[in-house]
Structure 1
Amino acid sequence: MEVIVPFSTDRPKSRLSDALSPDERSAFARAMLDDVLDAVAAAGGEPRVLATDAVDADRPVTVDDRPLTAAVNAALDARLGADGDESDADGPPEPVAVVMADLALATPDAVERLFAAGRDAEVAMVPGRGGGTNAFVASHPEFRVDYHGASYLDHRDIAAEVGASFAAVDSHRLGTDVDEPDDLAEVLIHGEGRAAAWLREAGFALDASEGRVAVVRE
C-alpha cells in the first residue's frame, strides 16, 4: 500500500518555538519524519514523502508547495481517480494511506492496525487528540480531504456524503501528534526511535519532582 507522508520544510513545528530553536525544530521534525517512514516501511507500506520543498531522503519524494488540503487531494486524485473517474481502471482503486510526519510514537504494529482497518472499510481514520486527522486509509474513489480545525469530524461527514463505509481507528501511538512543548513528554515516555533519542541527546528529560511529569532541559 502506498503511504503519503506530508512534510513541511518551511518553519517546521513553529509551535515548539518556546522549547527549540529554528535549527533544532528542523532537526527534530526530520527525526520524527524518519521514524514515521521506518514504521510505515516495516509495516509493509510503501512510503512517499509529500514535501513542500526538496527533501534528501532514501524514500521517494514528491514536491508540492500548495497548502496541505490541496496537496493531499492532488495525491488522492492521482491514485483514486480524479472526481471518482475509474474509466481507465480494471476494478476498484487500490487503497492509499496518508500518515502525518509528526507521529513520533508510530510503530509498525500501529500502522498495521490502520492498514487492516483500511482493508475492511472504504475510509479508516485515526483521530488526533484535538480532533484533527492524523492518519487514514481510503479506497473510495470520491473521498477527499479538508484539513482545518476538527478535521476528523469533517472527514467523517465527507465519507458519509460520498457513501463510503467508515471505521474509526483508536490508536494512542498514531493519535499522538507532536505540536506543543507538553507533547515532548509523550515522546520521552513512549518514543522508541530517532525522535526520542534526539530529545535525550539535546538534554531533555522528565521531571516528576513536583507531583506531575514535566519536561526539563538539563
Structure 2
Amino acid sequence: MDALVPFAPDRPKTRLSDTLTPDERRAFADAMLTDVLAALRAADFRPRLLTTEATDRDAPETVDERPLTDAVNAALDAHDLGPESPLAVVMADLALATPRSLARLRGRGDVVLAAGLGGGTNALLTRDPGFRVDYHGASYLDHLRAARGAGATVREVDSRLLATDIDERGDLAEVLVHGDGAARDWLVDVGFAVDASGGRVSVGRQA
C-alpha cells in the first residue's frame, strides 16, 4: 500500500525559529522524517516522498514546488485510486507515529481521516477517486465535508500519536517524553531536556 509523505526541506519547521537555528530546524525535520518513514515501512506501507527539492533518501520521490494542497491533489490525480489501490498521505512531522497507529489507516472506509490536535489533517487514506484535499485552515472539517459530499464512506481514526504533530517549542516535550526514535535522539544530542520543576513541564537546553 502506497503512502505519500509531503516534505519541505527548504523551509522546515518555521514555527520553531525562536528555538532552533535554520540548520537545526532542517536537521530536526530530517530526523522526524526518518522516524515517519521507518514507521510506515514497519506498517507495510510503501512510502514515497512528495518534496519541494530533491533529497538523498532511499525512497522514491516526486519533486513539486507547489503549495501542499496543489501538490497532493496532483499526486492523487496521478494515482489510480480504488478499493485495491488506496493512497495514504502522512505528514513528515509525526514523530510519535508508530507502526500500530499508522496501520489503523487501513481500516474500512472510502476515506480514512486522522485529525491533528489543532483541527488539521495529519494523516489520511483514500480509496475514492473523487476525493481531493484542501489543507487550508481547519482542514479536518473540510475533508469530512468533501468526503461526504462525494458520497464516500468515512472512517475517523482517534489516535493521540497521529494527532500530535511537532510544530512549536512546547511540542518538543512530547518527543522527549514519548518518543523513542531519531527525533528524540537528535533533541537529546543537542542538549534539550524536559524540566518538570514548579509543577509545569517545559523544555530547555542544558548548559
Distance in 2 separating the partners of 1:10 and 1:148? 20
Distance in 1 separating the partners of 2:78 and 2:12? 26
Runs of at least 5 residues in structure 2 that lack an aligned partner in the other structure: none
Structure 2 matches for 1:34-53, cutoff 5 A? 34-53=34-53
Q: How far apart are 1:80 and its partner, in Å?
A: 3.6
Distance in 2 separating the partners of 1:180 and 1:92? 37
Distance in 1 separating the partners of 2:159 and 2:55? 28
Aligned residue number for residue 77 of structure 2: 77
For the pair 1:213 / 2:201, whether they are aligned, the reply is yes
Which one of the candidate residues 199, 206, 215 is aligned to 2:187? 199
Q: Deviations over 1:18-66 (max 9, x none)?
A: 1100000000000001100000000000000100011110111110111
TM-score (norm 2): 0.97
Q: Deviations over 1:153-178 (max 9, x none)?
A: 00000001100000110011111000
Structure 2 matches for 1:7-156, cutoff 5 A? 7-80=7-80, 92=83, 94-115=85-106, 117=107, 120-156=108-144
* 8 Å CA contact retained: 1:205, 1:217: yes
Distance in 2 separating the partners of 1:78 and 1:173? 29
Q: Which letter maps to 2:16?
A: L
**Cα RMSD (Å):** 1.0
Aligned residue number for residue 161 of structure 2: 173
Aligned residue number for residue 87 of structure 1: none
Q: Which letter maps to 1:99?
A: V
Corresponding residue pairs, total: 206
Runs (4 or more) in structure 1 with deviation over 3 Å come to none
Where 1:103 maps in the other structure, the secondary structure is: coil
TM-score (norm 1): 0.92
